[in-house]
Amino acid sequence: MPGFDLIIVGAGIVGCACALEAARAGLRVVIVERGVVGGGTTAAGMGHVVVMDDSPAQLALTAYSRSLWLTMAPELPAGVEYESRGTLWIAADDEEMAEVFSKQTTYAQAGIASQVLDPRELAEAEPYLRSGLAGALLVPDDGVLYPPVAAEYFLSEARRLGVVFLSDHEVVRCGKGRVQFANGTSIEAERILLASGASIDLLPSLPIQKRKGHLLITDRYPGVVSHQLVELGYLKSAHKLTADSVAFNIQPRLTGQLLIGSSRQYGDESREINHAILRSMLERAIEYMPCLKGLSGIRVWTGHRAATADKLPLIGPTADPTLFLAMGFEGLGITNAPGAAVLAIDALLGRASVIDATPYLPSRIRQEAVHA
Amino acid sequence: MKPADVLVIGAGPAGLAAATAASRNGCRVAVLDDNPAAGGQIWRADITRPHQEDAARAAAIAAFHTSGAALLPGRRIVDVPSPSTLLAEAGGHFETYRWDRLILTTGARERFLPFPGWTLPGVFGAGGLQALVKGGYPVAGKRIVVAGTGPLLLAVAAHLREYGASIVTVAEQASTLQMLPFAASLLRSPGKLLQGAGYRRTLGATPYQTGCWPISGQGDEKLRSVTLTNGRRTWTVECDLLACGFHLVPNTELAQLLGCTLQGSFVQVDSQQQTPVAGIYCAGEPTGIAGVDAAQVEGEIAGLAAADCDPLPTRLLARRAKEAAFSRRLTHAFRLRPEVLKLASQETIVCRCEDVTFGQLQTRSNWTDAKLHTRCGMGPCQGRICGAATEALFGWQPTSVRAPLFPIPVAAFCDESSSLNAPSAR
Amino acid sequence: MPDQQIVIHVNGSPISVPAGCTLSAALLMASAPCRISTTGQPRTALCGMGICLECRAIVNGVPHTRTCQTVCQEGMRVETQS
Ligand SMILES: Cc1cc2nc3c(=O)[nH]c(=O)nc-3n(C[C@H](O)[C@H](O)[C@H](O)COP(=O)(O)OP(=O)(O)OC[C@H]3O[C@@H](n4cnc5c(N)ncnc54)[C@H](O)[C@@H]3O)c2cc1C
Ligand code: FES
């Protein structure tokens, strides 16, 4: 093996974005993956590029990352299926409508365009939603994309700049400048960036929990849904850190297919479909959009989000000076991949970042947790 | 003690035999099948000739009815919501079934291999065209090429000819030499694959070319001609239709969803036809492509075993052993020649649901990679057609099976009203 | 042949078919494709047994219906799905 400056572990969307960013910074990079590119949580996710405002730090990272997606959008290959669909945050009642207005204020302060829709405008924008909804907040610049191909795009750009990719290479140990594979071989570099998604086998002490989600995809029904639709009740349910929850979340794909979500469950690391959760998730969706009932569902799958206690990712150095992290992206890793990549490579090279990187530093969590 | 509830999935020869045996031995038995009538693929009912009965089919169905087992047709298993329940779709509504013993007799489907022109209207599966004709599609006067591999080709050709089609040729990719051992076994029991009125009579007049396969189909909006080769010479024949299939692949998706393990491509069973999952038995094509006789014997054994009959009659076990030997000869005789795996050009579509081309797939490393990055296998057939093709073409192993087994309305996952049905509809 | 004939509508045109006939057979008789593929190719039934989904068409307004598994009923309307 030639000398490398950086070994990236994991070719999900985050690892691939980091590889490209590192290559652009002139580093000699190898990226290693136990399966295929984008085959982890990246393959299981929804691909909603969305600005979120649970916390100021979350808002900063999602807004920054979305701006990077918007810049890239014209160059993305067709297979990435990037579309500027916009998000509709749907309010079912007056309480949620109040949320719409406060969200609009928050977004305006961050320079994020949005527009309040009254019930009539909402019905015009999405005629298949049930009647009697209170309104919605339209965030027009949010997008949707197909994550595995986006990951592969980052990787192929990185490879054009000389990055080496090793698929089917499972890492069994990493740290102290060395990465060891299941086949017994190992490679060394000055720096290692761990981007193994929800899998923390390599650093079991990491404060990351798996949060399982279910999704269903339908056959092609072009024109039924135009925006990514998310219920605002989501804010009440999805971010509780303990209980299982479901929310109405539906995404129109470029193919005309509809991706229906979403569910969140802790303590279930299996990939099996949980029929009780699936049922309540789909009942919730049908409640908001009755016509979904009759649409042909062709596949159901599950995936695991990498959740941290404060819902923010872990980006930056660890106690092992050779080891850096880019993990813990929960339900926002697709959105945040480009921004996180910049922050991670900034941290690696000691560069200053465009946004304040401290909220995402691994050291913010109990010190012993990030010992390699 | 209450009699065991035995549920049989699939009403072909294996399923009917299993149900009959279990019911005769004291079980309450119900057979579910996707089709509107019993018989499976080989004994599919013919709407244009309702009174013409296949003798073997008639005998099996009569025995089934006298046994007291119930037939629940028009029901397709779509999901396994919990280990001992099955969700079935029945004409737009959904039913849940519970079982004490489950016998899977889900049969096989044709294997399709891509070649330029195979997606043109006018190109069908061999068994596919036969099924469409039985469903009312008239082929009288049509010029038809039958091609691919397997004993089905002859049966299909004979059947189409009976309906007035003119068979241009039957092109069997296996060489005469390769088929010799099989021919010998056909001579020993000639009725084996060519049951049915008139097959043998019509067969004599059917042009049958071995060591010959299609390399392309031509036509704009529909098929006009087929180009065939024998490896040395290439020629083109005009025709209206092409019926083309490359033998069979087992339907193992339901078994897999239930947690049954596969051995190679087939469901693993022991001498009692019992799978490694307690209470689940499997018989017929999912355990090995062996034809109708094997299916019936295995079905009967599975039915007896599910009814706790012990010991099993040695005559049955001996017949099964004989059929297993036949199956090995069959597999050997009709194994694919390497040339038929190289027919696709860069632009040839391999995944018909998503129109993914051979060229797009060539750069992928395995089935998961292909699915994620080209959409191959992501369409509504869920990889049943392109998965079998890419397994043959690239050696890709399919990944785990997920619900739903077939596309179903979203509401099917929620339907509270779906009734619990014990298989007791006697 | 069963004597009874029924009338269905394929892409708006009436066609008489034998009772019990499958919709995919009727579409073949009418020389109408079942569906137009994602890259614009006309497609007709392939497997005839409910597996390949090539025979999907719009039946009485419902898209993605497998016509090889559907029996024609008097007055049924079937349209090529694109
Ligand atoms: C149901 C669901 C819906 C979602 N919807 C959205 C959404 O709409 N928008 C959004 O922004 N985000 C969404 N997400 C979140 C998003 O999918 C993830 O945050 C993102 O994919 C994480 O990317 P990653 O690269 O960190 O992880 P992964 O994609 O999991 O990549 C990690 C890679 O590391 C590899 N790896 C792990 N261990 C090893 C090892 N020991 N050796 C070698 N390789 C290893 C894995 O194989 C994997 O390929 C969703 C997630 C789920 C589950
Ligand atoms: S023709 Fe294959 S599903 Fe109908």
pLDDT at B52: 67
Residue written as token pair 């999912």: B286
pLDDT at B179: 81
> What CATH code is assigned to C5-79?
3.10.20.30
Using a CB–CB cutoff of 8 Å, tell me whether C39 touches chain B.
Answer: yes
Using a CB–CB cutoff of 8 Å, tell me whether C7 touches chain B.
Answer: no
Identify the weakest region by mean pLDDT among A55-69, A204-218, A227-241, B110-124. Answer: A227-241
Distance of alpha carbon A176 from alpha carbon A266, whole angstroms: 32
Question: pTM of the full predicted structure?
Answer: 0.92
Taking residues A258-276, what's their average pLDDT? 92
Ligand in nearest proximity to the CA of A50: 1
At the topology level, CATH places domain B112-246 in: FAD/NAD(P)-binding domain (3.50.50)
Distance of alpha carbon A50 from alpha carbon A41, whole angstroms: 17
pLDDT at B83: 86
The confidence band for A369, taking pLDDT boundaries of 50, 70 and 90, is: very low
* CATH class name, domain A4-45+147-207+310-371: alpha beta
Residue B177: both structure tokens together: 């030499």
Q: Which amino acid is at B329?
A: R
Q: What homologous superfamily does CATH list for B2-109+249-312?
A: FAD/NAD(P)-binding domain (3.50.50.60)
Interface test mutation site (partner A, options B76, B363, B396, B413, max chain A beta carbons within 10 A): B413
b/e sequence B68-102, b meaning 16+ C-beta within 10 Å: ebbbbeebbbbbbbeeeebbbbbeeebbbbebbbb
pLDDT at A239: 53
β-pair type (A257-266, A209-220): antiparallel
End-to-end Cα distance, chain C: 33
pLDDT at B203: 62
Domain with CATH 3.50.50.60 in chain A: 4-45+147-207+310-371
CA distances from B151 to B193, B302, B389, C46 (A): 7, 26, 19, 19
b/e sequence B272-308, b meaning 16+ C-beta within 10 Å: ebbbebebbbbbbbbbbbbbbbbbbbbbbbbbbbbbe
pLDDT digits (tens, 9 = 90+) for A109-123: 999 999 999 999 999
Residue C68 Cα: closest atom of ligand 2: 4
Ligand in nearest proximity to the CA of C46: 2
Interface test mutation site (partner B, options A296, A301, A302, max chain B beta carbons within 10 A): A296
pLDDT digits (tens, 9 = 90+) for B330-388: 888 999 999 999 999 999 999 999 999 999 999 999 999 999 999 999 999 999 999 99
pLDDT at A128: 98
Distance of alpha carbon A204 from alpha carbon A181, whole angstroms: 17
**Phi first, then psi: what are they for B139, rounded to 5°?**
-120, 10
Chain A residues with CB under 8 Å of C57 CB are: none
The confidence band for B425, taking pLDDT boundaries of 50, 70 and 90, is: very low
Count CA within 13 A, CB hemisphere, residue B340. 28
Find the length of chain C. Answer: 82
The answer to whether the B2-109+249-312 and B112-246 domains have the same CATH topology is yes
Sketch the domain layout of chain C as residue ranges.
5-79
pLDDT digits (tens, 9 = 90+) for A175-196: 999 999 999 999 999 999 999 9
**Greatest mean pLDDT range, B161-175, B202-216, B412-426:** B161-175
The CATH number of A84-142+208-307 is which of 3.30.9.10, 3.30.450.20, 3.40.50.300, 3.40.30.10?
3.30.9.10
Residue B168: both structure tokens together: 């241009």
Mean pLDDT computed over every residue of chain B: 89
Q: Which of B168, B7, B209, B213 shows the shortest CA–CA distance to B98?
A: B7
CA distances from B424 to B68, B100, B119, B259 (A): 10, 12, 44, 26
Cross-strand partners of A266: A211
Residue written as token pair 């137009």: C36
pLDDT at A267: 87
pLDDT digits (tens, 9 = 90+) for A317-357: 999 999 999 999 999 999 999 999 999 999 999 999 999 99
Are B413 and A279 an interchain contact pair (Cβ–Cβ within 8 Å)? yes
Chain A residues with CB under 8 Å of B404 CB are: 297-300
pLDDT digits (tens, 9 = 90+) for C13-68: 999 999 999 999 999 999 999 999 999 999 999 999 999 999 999 999 999 999 99
Could you report the predicted ipTM of this complex, rounded to two decimals?
Answer: 0.96
Ligand in nearest proximity to the CA of B110: 2
From chain A residues 328-367, the ones with a CB under 8 A of any chain B CB are none
Chain C residues with CB under 8 Å of B135 CB are: 21-22, 24-25, 48, 68
Sign of CA dihedral B305, B309, B310, B311: negative
Strand, coil or helix: A71: helix
| Residues of chain B above pLDDT 70, percent | 90
Q: Which of A311, A312, A317 shows the shortest CA–CA distance to A359?
A: A312
Interface test mutation site (partner B, options A254, A275, A295, max chain B beta carbons within 10 A): A275
The DSSP H or E segment spanning B133 is helix B126-134
pLDDT at B192: 54
pLDDT at B414: 85
Cross-strand partners of A191: A6
Are C63 and A294 an interchain contact pair (Cβ–Cβ within 8 Å)? no
Distance of alpha carbon B279 from alpha carbon A267, whole angstroms: 30
Measured torsion, CA atoms of residues B363, B366, B368, B369, in degrees rounded to the nearest 10: -20
CA distances from B17 to A265, B10, B307, B350 (A): 45, 11, 13, 37
Distance of alpha carbon A12 from alpha carbon C56, whole angstroms: 35
Whether the CB of C66 sits within 6 Å of ligand 2: yes
**Phi first, then psi: what are they for A209, rounded to 5°?**
-115, 150
pLDDT at A148: 97
pLDDT digits (tens, 9 = 90+) for A207-237: 999 999 999 999 999 999 999 999 998 656 5
Chains contacting chain A through 3 or more C-beta pairs under 8 A: B, C
pLDDT at B197: 38
Chain A residues with CB under 8 Å of B370 CB are: none
Distance of alpha carbon A167 from alpha carbon A116, whole angstroms: 46
Q: How far is A296 from chain C (nearest CA, A)?
A: 7
